[in-house]
Amino acid sequence: AQSVTQPDIHITVSEGASLELRCNYSYGATPYLFWYVQSPGQGLQLLLKYFSGDTLVQGIKGFEAEFKRSQSSFNLRKPSVHWSDAAEYFCAVDPYNTNAGKSTFGDGTTLTVKP
């Protein structure tokens, strides 16, 4: 069965600093990989996704993520964090070759931005 691990429950960064949120997955092959953001009291919004091709993918709001097959990782990055980026971030996987539509989310990382 697939699984997703987000090792950091809570991260605090200063506004303007760089950000990296970690995501590791466990699956037999390369799955579909996603990052979502959830602002307080809101639903989730898709930031970016990866399945194949260039391992560095660009998303909305200035985010990017890098897929590393050897490390089974899909870490989310942003060069300069804005106060409005404070939210909860979820990594998710969808298996490639079976169970279309079945998805697994990590437990989330809460980002706090200091002024």
Binding site for other proteins (CB under 8 A): 32, 34, 36, 42-46, 49, 51, 90, 92, 94, 99-108
Q: Which is nearer to other proteins, 32 or 66 (CB)?
A: 32
Q: Considering the complex, what minimum distance in angstroms separates the CB of residue 1 from other proteins?
A: 9
Which is nearer to other proteins, 30 or 75 (by Cβ)? 30
Dihedral, 94, 49, 7, 115 alpha carbons, nearest 10: -150
